[in-house]
Structure 1
Amino acid sequence: MLKKVNALLDIPYNRLDWKTVLFILFLVALIIRFPFFFRDYVDRDESTFIIMAQSWVDGHLPYTRLWDLKPPITFLTFAGIISIFGKSFIAIRLAGTLFVALTALFTYTISLTITSKKVAFWASVFCVFFLSLFGSLQGVMSEHICTLFFISGLYVVLSRDQKYWFLIAGLLFGLSVMSKLNMAYPLLSLGVFLLSKYILQKDTWQGIQRLTLMGLGFLLLVGLTAVPYLLNNLLETWFGSIFEAPLAYSKTKFHSVFKALPMVLVTALLILAGLRTKLIDGNSKTVQALIAVIAGVLLSFIQTGKVNGHYLIQLYPFFLILAAVAAGKLPRIGQKYSFAMAILILLVPMESYLEYANVISNKIKKGSFYNGEGVDIPNYITENKLNTENIFFTEYHIGYWLLGEEPPTKAATHPSNITREKLFPFMDNPRKTGLEELRYIMEQIQPEVVVARKKKTIFDKKLVDFNQYIDAYLAEHYRLIKSIDRGLIYQRLK
């Protein structure tokens, strides 16, 4: 048995080319992520990206008809998929699988500059695991998109000397930052590192030229995102929504920087331990660049004041390269541990195995592979011919997309935005407060149907006034007509 396990682990690494590695990585990612192709949503943000993208496909620029606090490249990525394949969960999740596989491929190619093919291969495989499991990572998040662009730009910087490649790297970094703004932190730390490296190597002038081209590529990409708004005389909307709104939002957060410190300290201590024990070569340019990028990502976590599971997507590929290099220098495990290692690797995707069972169970019980309240509730509404005009999803808002409807107001695109009053000016919202916005939706628009979630306050528990108002209003003006799993469907009283 041990011989069979060892035979499986003894892959002919030297024969691997990048195409073969990409195929293997895509296959692993597909096996892990496939059962989640049929889930209504894994994270609410993904639903918002889809709704924003559909609005763009329908001819409305982001931030004009609907609004969310993300740069436009995230919406453009989803819009491209929807415009080609239509309303398809499978197409969106399959694209996410490709994003993960490509990110892992760049993890492999960067690893090759400082370690063996074997170590690089396993670093890329574990990259697929960490970008697809443990939390809300099975959906397609903005972090998947921005990290792919960033690591591809990093690969170009580390592997190409011709100056025009730095222009291309700048474009890739621009795509990354315009997918998620906090990637400006690792970009800045990488730029500082590269400049200091050129100065120490007494190649300052050449370095300045390369970094200038990289900066021009970055600015060119940022400028291109402004062109559609400029042509429609909406440049103020573009600038306010992308750059000013995040600054205003950062002032409203409930989170303390101390919540991010444990993750930051653990990561920093592990890297420091690797350097002190010589498991990581601190003299390697690649290692130094990776540490600079990781430092930038960690700084962004501190600034945000929290570390959600999907935020870690931005950290995993860069950290896993260093971890794999360090692990590759440790003594090889004996044969008696090989079986245990193989079993451990097979058990890592436990979430996927459980989801396969869930998909099959749903097919048997409900006759469909697609599952979740975000699918079942729209199906019930359609089958029972409920009036969807001005429908209000306080939860499961992917339902707007499936029903072909839009949120009742721009601020309700993501339900939580209703409470973020400091963002209202950037939405061009005539209401000044969140409660005023909520009253407008419930009392003026008067949605025929309201969807909520069982055993969960509609708004954050800290927002007592919001919850007291909507709970009382629902009790007086609506009746509960259907409970579907955790989903609640309320209909307005005549």
Structure 2
Amino acid sequence: MGKTIQRNVLKKFPFPNYKNLDWKTVFLILFVVALIIRFPFFFRDYVDRDESTFIIMGQSWANGFLPYTQLWDLKPPVTFLFFAIIIKIFGKSFIAIRFFGSLLVALTSMFTYSIASKISSKKIAFWVALFCVCFQSLFGSLQGVMSEHICTFFFVAGLFILFLKDDSKWYFTTGLLFGLSVMTKLNMVYPVLSLGIYFLWEGFYKKQLRTTLKNLVFMGIGFVFTIALTALPYYLQGNLQIWWASIFEAPLAYSEGKFHSPLKTLPFLVIILGLLVTGFRLKIIDWKSRPLQILTVIILGVLISFMQTGKVNGHYLIQLYPFILIPIGIAISKLPELSKKYRPIVVILLFLIPMESYLEYANIISNKLEKGTFFNGEGFTVPQYILENHLETKNIFFTEYHIGYWVLGVSPPTKVATHPSNITREELFPYMQNPRETGLEELHYIMEIVKPKILVAREGKEIFDKKLLDFNAYIDNYLKDNYTLIATVDRGLIYQRLE
């Protein structure tokens, strides 16, 4: 009887009746899977330091300060708007932020399913969407809410409309969504431009240039309208210059920084392009298919943006997954059907994919038993120690775990220090309206003029990048002469000023 039940389970899972799937069922499955995978990370202080910065910037906006005016970070304003809205409605809630991050992942995967189902079968689309959830949630620092999650959602939603509708008002709507995507992460302008060039070529080739130009004009109007909306609050405050400098000029300066080189991205680009070319040459992927041409153009646009940035971080790949998984899914479907005797192995492998989540579930349970709370990480424990021991909170400098500013309800010592690493990115200083010209000058100002009463660092790690010898030598010597280590909380080092 046990074997009969096992056979029946394997017969239905992971191979359901795909033809009867409707979008509501698919979305429910995707959302539940996203929630199960990402839920244990709802209680982590941070997964990636960038998320902490977005939260702090969002709080500043919720408090009434436009981005780049009180605090500063190298992202367009829609990134911070996402966090500001959640904070304004739900207050200081990590759970609310991570919940809406899970919702974004599910919605992005749902739109990916809808696009894939128009190109291939529902079966392929379902598995592409399911893996889209996994790849946006695992393998690195993807369990937090990153700007890539937000911008990819807007882009995939816009692309879905392009696949569904073909009249001017919907091109305008797509332009609005593409504008939101670019105003979340600027490099998404490359796939937008790539799509525009493709449509122009297609219109010329099919002798439909007039219709194509009309549609592109409406898309462009929607795109520009979104960008103009982000500029309006700054214009009304007479501060349009910092909007322009922070959104458009600063990223160009950043991409030309000393640690970025297009050559570093070449191995990754060669692999992706090699897979695409192989698929087309072997006719596993149909090059004549217009939807697959569009996806390829988008992939190329994203890859070009990686080259321009000069590096490929793990969370950057979120921008690529929905588009590359569809042709990969189609290619895999052309392989010989899997023998029934291997299906139990497939089921086991599927359950092993979210191993990071299982480990995190164990971590939060262990933390609950040991410390009485599911919330874990130095971003919680260090501020808790500071409050319990009545240490200074208003004049504090987090060189690590800077989500602590949000937990304590205080601001960084200077605008530049919003993200600790920005102190060393002196090429960005002119766009922050910062009175100091070099990173060392900024660090001197923080330590010798602001004089933080408390400084937080991380055990076993240099305060700044190990390549920045001057920065580390200065702050190590200054701490030695002017501060004393009063506590080590987990891996967090708490220094108190001697004066």
Which residue identity lines up with residue 229 of structure 1 in the other structure?
Y
Q: Which moved more, 1:5-14 or 1:461-470?
A: 5-14
Q: Deviations over 1:243-290 (max 9, x none)?
A: 111112222241322221111111111111111122111111110000
CA drift at 1:398: 0.1
Note if contact 1:2-1:336 (Cα within 8 Å) is conserved in structure 2.
Answer: no
Which residue identity lines up with residue 149 of structure 1 in the other structure?
F
Which residue identity lines up with residue 448 of structure 2 in the other structure?
E
Q: Which runs of 4+ in 1 moved over 4 A?
A: none
Confirm whether residue 296 of structure 1 aligns to residue 301 of structure 2: yes
Which residue identity lines up with residue 377 of structure 2 in the other structure?
G
In the alignment, which of 289, 313, 316 is matched to residue 321 of structure 2?
A: 316
In the alignment, which of 232, 240, 243 is matched to residue 238 of structure 1?
A: 243
**Pairwise CA RMSD:** 0.9
CA drift at 1:356: 0.1
The aligned counterpart of 1:191 is 196
Q: Deviations over 1:20-48 (max 9, x none)?
A: 11111000000000000000000000000
The aligned counterpart of 2:358 is 353
The aligned counterpart of 2:149 is 144
Q: Which moved more, 1:455-464 or 1:123-132?
A: 455-464
The aligned counterpart of 1:171 is 176
Q: Deviations over 1:381-428 (max 9, x none)?
A: 111111112200000000000000000000000001111112111111
SS, match of residue 9 in structure 1: coil
The aligned counterpart of 2:459 is 454
In the alignment, which of 217, 222, 229 is matched to residue 222 of structure 2?
A: 217
In 2, Cα distance between the equivalents of 1:95 and 1:285?
Answer: 33
The aligned counterpart of 1:154 is 159
Q: Deviations over 1:205-255 (max 9, x none)?
A: 000000010011000000000000000000011101111111122222413
SS, match of residue 69 in structure 1: coil
In 2, Cα distance between the equivalents of 1:321 and 1:309?
Answer: 20
Note if contact 1:2-1:338 (Cα within 8 Å) is conserved in structure 2.
Answer: no
CA drift at 1:4: 2.6
In 2, Cα distance between the equivalents of 1:91 and 1:253?
Answer: 37
In 2, Cα distance between the equivalents of 1:93 and 1:55?
Answer: 19
In 2, Cα distance between the equivalents of 1:394 and 1:196?
Answer: 50
The aligned counterpart of 2:384 is 379
In 2, Cα distance between the equivalents of 1:115 and 1:125?
Answer: 15
CA drift at 1:314: 0.4
Which residue identity lines up with residue 135 of structure 1 in the other structure?
G
In the alignment, which of 193, 202, 207 is matched to residue 202 of structure 1?
A: 207
Q: Within 5 A, what are the aligned runs for 1:34-113?
A: 34-113=39-118
Confirm whether residue 251 of structure 1 aligns to residue 274 of structure 2: no
In 2, Cα distance between the equivalents of 1:200 and 1:109?
Answer: 28
CA drift at 1:12: 1.5
In 2, Cα distance between the equivalents of 1:199 and 1:376?
Answer: 62
Which residue identity lines up with residue 356 of structure 1 in the other structure?
Y
Confirm whether residue 276 of structure 1 aligns to residue 281 of structure 2: yes
The aligned counterpart of 1:21 is 26
**Identity of matched residues, %:** 62
SS, match of residue 301 in structure 1: helix
In 2, Cα distance between the equivalents of 1:487 and 1:300?
Answer: 36
SS, match of residue 479 in structure 1: strand
In 1, Cα distance between the equivalents of 2:37 and 2:449?
Answer: 46
Which residue identity lines up with residue 274 of structure 1 in the other structure?
G
Confirm whether residue 181 of structure 1 aligns to residue 186 of structure 2: yes
CA drift at 1:157: 1.3
Which residue identity lines up with residue 402 of structure 1 in the other structure?
V
CA drift at 1:10: 2.5
Which residue identity lines up with residue 25 of structure 1 in the other structure?
L
Confirm whether residue 327 of structure 1 aligns to residue 346 of structure 2: no
SS, match of residue 489 in structure 1: strand
The aligned counterpart of 2:3 is none
Confirm whether residue 30 of structure 1 aligns to residue 35 of structure 2: yes
In 1, Cα distance between the equivalents of 2:281 and 2:7?
Answer: 35
In the alignment, which of 470, 473, 498 is matched to residue 468 of structure 1?
A: 473
Confirm whether residue 481 of structure 1 aligns to residue 486 of structure 2: yes
Q: Within 5 A, what are the aligned runs for 1:397-416?
A: 397-416=402-421
In 2, Cα distance between the equivalents of 1:312 and 1:10?
Answer: 28
Which residue identity lines up with residue 310 of structure 2 in the other structure?
G
The aligned counterpart of 1:432 is 437
Q: Which moved more, 1:479-488 or 1:403-412?
A: 479-488
TM-score, normalising length: structure 1: 0.99
Q: Which moved more, 1:150-159 or 1:167-176?
A: 150-159
Count how many residue pairs are aligned between Structure 1 and Structure 2: 494
In 2, Cα distance between the equivalents of 1:301 and 1:250?
Answer: 10
Confirm whether residue 363 of structure 1 aligns to residue 368 of structure 2: yes
SS, match of residue 260 in structure 1: helix
CA drift at 1:150: 0.6
CA drift at 1:3: 4.5
Which residue identity lines up with residue 424 of structure 2 in the other structure?
T
Note if contact 1:171-1:220 (Cα within 8 Å) is conserved in structure 2.
Answer: yes
Note if contact 1:157-1:166 (Cα within 8 Å) is conserved in structure 2.
Answer: yes
In 1, Cα distance between the equivalents of 2:220 and 2:303?
Answer: 23
Note if contact 2:255-2:310 (Cα within 8 Å) is conserved in structure 1.
Answer: no
Note if contact 1:2-1:335 (Cα within 8 Å) is conserved in structure 2.
Answer: no
In 2, Cα distance between the equivalents of 1:142 and 1:355?
Answer: 23
Note if contact 1:190-1:289 (Cα within 8 Å) is conserved in structure 2.
Answer: yes
In the alignment, which of 388, 396, 401 is matched to residue 393 of structure 2?
A: 388
Q: Which moved more, 1:85-94 or 1:7-16?
A: 7-16
The aligned counterpart of 1:12 is 17
In 1, Cα distance between the equivalents of 2:238 and 2:286?
Answer: 52
In 2, Cα distance between the equivalents of 1:370 and 1:190?
Answer: 43
Note if contact 2:158-2:175 (Cα within 8 Å) is conserved in structure 1.
Answer: yes
Note if contact 1:478-1:490 (Cα within 8 Å) is conserved in structure 2.
Answer: yes
CA drift at 1:2: 4.5
